[in-house]
Amino acid sequence: MNISEAADLIRIDKISGDRPQTWCDLGCGTGTFTLALATLLPAGSVIHAIDKDEKSLSQIPDRYQDVTIRKEVATLTGSNLPLPPLDGVLIANLLHYIEDQATLTARLRTLSQRLLVVEYDERARSQWIPYPIGFSALRALLLEQGFTEIVKIGTRVSRYAGELYSVWAESRPKESQNFDAPVRTVPRLLNRPPEQLGNALRNQ
């Protein structure tokens, strides 16, 4: 998937406008969706690109289409992500690696009341998608966590498996919570470096 195709998948009027915004792309990999988001945000916006792999982050430019990209090495299990107040969080092709998806989405809601999700609309587990979460399951999960506006933005056929879908979710402000329990991710099952597997899936 190229940047233009990724941008079409997550395009929604709610992230346009004239006021610069601050976003986070969590688990950004080599930045396909980071740069796609940059094409949609107003000039002067900032995206915090977060990934555990420094080599992947090094492939992302520091600036793209008048949007500043600040790259940070961090993991989901860290107690504190190095982030300022956010206008939104993007997670693309990440949730299907997370066993405890409820804890992660609850944590995300403490970072921002606006969430963009890209996922595979799969039901069966596989070594590629160990914790699948189709749209219906994701919608139910987001409702449980207090997101009140949940919109399916679009879909796209994936070369890897079935169909990708994108979702916008928004909630009312909520008091911060302390999430000490680690978010468990599945070990990579193929004989490939983790960054290669993640990037291969992200770019399908």
User: Can you give the pLDDT at residue 54?
Assistant: 96
| pLDDT tens by residue, 30-41 | 999 999 999 999
| pLDDT tens by residue, 78-137 | 656 778 999 999 999 999 999 999 999 999 999 999 999 999 997 778 888 899 999 999
User: Can you give the pLDDT at residue 173?
Assistant: 65
User: Can you give the pLDDT at residue 128?
Assistant: 84
Q: DSSP letters of 167-202? A: EEEEE---------SPPPBPPP-SSS-HHHHHHHHH
User: Can you give the pLDDT at residue 145?
Assistant: 93
Domains for the chain: give ranges and CATH numbers. 3-202 (3.40.50.150)
Q: How many residues does the chain have?
A: 204
- Strand stretches in the chain, DSSP E: 22-26, 46-51, 63-64, 67-73, 88-92, 114-120, 147-157, 163-171
Q: Which residue has the higher pLDDT, 80 or 150?
A: 150
* pTM (global) more than 0.85: no
